[in-house]
A and B are shown apart, each in its own frame.
Chain A
Amino acid sequence: MKKKILLLLTVTLLAFGIALFTGPHFISPFRMSGMEEEILLQVRLPRVLAAALIGVALGSSGAVLQGILRNPLADPYILGLSSGASLTASAGLILGSATFAVPLLAFAGAVITGGIVGIMSMRRGGIWPERLLLAGIGLGFLFSALLMLMMSLSTDEGLRRAILWMFGDLSTVEWSTIPYGLVFIAGGIVIALLRSRALNSLLLGDDLAHSLGFSPQRERLVLFIAVCLMTSSSVSLGGMIGFIGLLMPHIMRFLVGSNNALLVPCSALAGGSILMISDLLGRSVIAPTEIPSGIITTLIGAPYFLYLLKKRDILNE
């Protein structure tokens, strides 16, 4: 079990190094000019870190959410957090707010949405999975409609910035947002790892989780908060990146099994790796034009997922 995590950790560090030093312009870690050092530290490093954090956040929150909802089709974005973030961030961009305020607006939108979804799903003192799912979907639709309304009434320049943001644009990442992202995402991961046994128990059903000594309602709430923090931070760092939250946990389930003590960290590391590499490709292949990393992630990840699906007979191993 430890071996698999160590292997993935090595892959992640490798991906980090490659994403940091290569790109449209290769920078040798051993011989750097002053200009190259400047690019590396001020442009690439925050960008690669943001990609890693977003990937880690989406991979692990996908795994956790699929566990608490006991639904393998759950995606962190299904909770409506991303729609809430898009609404507030786009409102800011369209109304001409300063760029530095956008991550803050997005985070606020996501967290507030998470709070509303959480409250909507409460019944008899606890969060109910079906209600969580439906509240998230319902609120997501509402916010999307408001967003489209706002967009159809807005000017061209604001609209372009808003659309770029929603595509998952890592080119505007600045150092200032990284520490906040790091704190919330690390916090979420720690909670998820500490509660991985509770998460496993929830997969057996509430009654058995109770019998094993966990309070299903409390555990779901704590894990939901962890998912909200991680997803909100990731959306605020770099907009919406598809695929990782939904399918990375599935790829990892094929490879390491369903025990969340292993699945959550592996999905996190794999999510971070794939996003760093995707972002590298996105800014390199047709430089100086950038392809949004969300598109690359899906272009790499989806075929691999489909290959695994075809090759591995998960039901008869």
Chain B
Amino acid sequence: MNKGILSFHHVSFSYAPSAELIEDLNLAVDEGQFICLLGANGSGKSTILKLGSGIYTPSKGSITLWNKPLRDYRGKDKAKLLSYLPQVLDLGVPFRVRELVEMGRYPYADVPPVVGVADALRMVGLESKENSLVNTLSGGERRRAFIAMTLLQGAGVLLLDEPLANLDIKYQLELIRLLRNIKNVTVVMALHDINMAFEFDTVILVKKGRVLGVGTPREMVTEETLEEAFEVSLAIKRIGPQAFISYKAE
């Protein structure tokens, strides 16, 4: 069968027939991979993640999760294998942090969690805010609370849409390390900050709903590829394993 635990086969998607947002997309995500999606605004990163989570249904082609068509899964069964965290988190969530995090257990009826609520809160540094209302948290804290919920959900495939947005640099790095340290977890993350791409195994570069290329950060984050993806001239300076991206002087 097909390679990869989450695979896109010739997937096209559009809201309106005239404008295809995603065109003939082929992707295979292997177990345990740590992947980022990189591309300009409107390149289709979020749409790809929503397709992968089953929120959107492809207009053409198919998506499989563990070699079974995504649309054949029951909601609860899929939720045990795959979870999705949207980029925009609702501001009006009326729950307390602990209540929100506990909702991560909803797909499981009676199975005890692998990661407890207290662990999940500690991992994201919110243990002191357990009883705060989510809508009183700062933007970064709110995002971390939702990440704790996702961790408690315990799915093997995490599709995260710009989870680093509104996080301090400390929490950006901590989140990446945290996700890397969870065993057997596969992460596909839409990414805004190109510098962070070097923390990943694989970079998928997208433009206008198509994949420009898939490879290691060193292969994919070059002046040429970035210019093609972002339509702007960038300069890359490498120091050891690090790379620094800046505007090219005119």
Residues of A participating in the B interface, judged by any CB pair closer than 8 Å:
70, 197, 200-201, 203-208, 210-215, 253, 257-259, 314-317
- Tell me the residues in window 70-93 of chain B with beta carbons closer than 8 Å to chain A beta carbons: 74-80, 82-86, 89-90, 92-93
Number of interface residues of B (CB under 8 A): 35
Cβ distance A259 to chain B, nearest Cβ, rounded Å = 6
Q: Residue B107 at the A interface, CB < 8 A? A: yes
8 A-B pairs, CB-CB below 8 angstroms?
A70-B90, A203-B90, A203-B94, A204-B103, A212-B83, A214-B106, A257-B95, A258-B95
List residues of chain B with CB within 8 A of the CB of A317: 131, 133
Nearest Cβ on chain B to A100's Cβ, whole angstroms: 43
Q: A200-B103, A203-B93 are in contact. Are A212 and B53 (CB under 8 A)?
A: no
B50 in contact (CB, < 8 A): yes
Q: Which one, B55, B93, B96, B107, contacts A213 given CB within 8 A?
A: B107
**In the complex the two chains form, what is the Cα distance from A70 to B91 in whole Å?**
11
Q: Which residues of B contact A204 (CB under 8 A)?
A: 90, 93, 100, 103
* Chain A residues with CB below 8 A from B84, complex form: 207-208, 210-211
List residues of chain B with CB under 8 Å of any chain A CB: 50, 53-55, 74-80, 82-86, 89-90, 92-96, 99-100, 103-104, 106-107, 131, 133, 135-136, 146, 153
Instruction: Please name the residue on chain A nearest to B99 by beta carbon.
Output: A259
**In contact, A212 and B106 (Cβ under 8 angstroms):** yes
B79 touches A211 (CB 8 A): yes
A253 to B50, CA, bound (A): 33
A212–B103 touching, CB < 8 Å? yes
B50, A207: Cβ atoms under 8 Å? yes
CB neighbours of A212 from chain B (8 A): 79, 83, 103-104, 106-107, 153
Q: Select from chain B the residue with minimum beta-carbon distance to A211.
A: B84
B106: which of A201, A206, A215 is its contact (CB, 8 Å)?
A201
Q: Which residues of B contact A70 (CB under 8 A)?
A: 90, 92
Q: A253 CA to B104 CA in the complex, in Å?
A: 22
With contacts A210-B55, A213-B76, A253-B94 taken as known, whether A315 is within 8 angstroms of B133 at the C-beta atoms is yes
- Give min CB distance, B209 to chain A, whole Å: 20
Task: Tell me the complex Cα distance, A257–B102, Å.
Answer: 15
Judging by beta carbons under 8 Å apart, are A211 and B53 in contact? Answer: yes
Q: Which residues of B contact A201 (CB under 8 A)?
A: 103, 106
**Do residues A205 and B90 form an inter-chain contact, with CB atoms below 8 A?**
yes
Is there contact, CB below 8 Å, between A214 and B75? yes
Write the nearest CB–CB distance from B219 to chain A, whole angstroms. 31
Residues of chain B contacted by A314 (CB below 8 angstroms): 133
State the CA gap A35–B110 with chains docked (Å): 55
A172 to B153, CA, bound (A): 53
Complex CA–CA separation, A206 to B90 (angstroms): 10
A213 touches B106 (CB 8 A): yes
- Write the nearest CB–CB distance from A128 to chain B, whole angstroms: 15
The smallest beta-carbon distance between A254 and chain B, in angstroms, is 12
Distance of B154 from chain A, by nearest CB (Å): 12
B39 nearest CB across to chain A (Å): 20
Bound form: Cα–Cα A258–B131 in Å: 13
Q: A212-B79, A215-B75 are in contact. List 4 more A-B contacts (CB 8 A).
A: A201-B106, A205-B90, A207-B84, A211-B83
Cβ-closest chain B residue relative to A216: B55
With a 10 A CB-CB cut-off, give which of A197, A203, A207, A214 has the most chain B CB atoms.
A207
State how many angstroms separate the Cβ of B55 from the closest Cβ of chain A. 5
Q: Inside 8 A of B53's CB, which chain A residues have their CB?
A: 207, 210-211
Shortest Cβ distance from B106 into chain A, in angstroms? 5
Contacts of A316 in B (CB 8 A): 136
Q: Which of B75, B93, B103, B135 contacts A210 (CB 8 A)?
A: B75
A207 to chain B: closest residue by CB: B86
In the complex, the answer to whether A200 meets B133 with C-beta atoms within 8 Å is no
Distance in Å from the Cβ of B123 to the closest Cβ of chain A? 19
In the complex, what distance in Å separates the CA atom of A74 from the CA atom of B90? 18
| Cα distance A31–B136 in the bound complex, in angstroms | 57
Cα distance, A203 to B106, chains bound together (Å)? 14
Residues on the B chain within 8 Å of A203, using CB: 90, 92-95
Collect the chain A residues with CB atoms within 8 Å of residue B74's CB: 213
A78 CA to B38 CA, complexed, in Å: 45
Residues of A within 8 A of B131 (CB): 317
CB of B84, distance to nearest CB on chain A (Å): 4
Q: Which A residues touch B85, using CB under 8 A? A: 208, 211
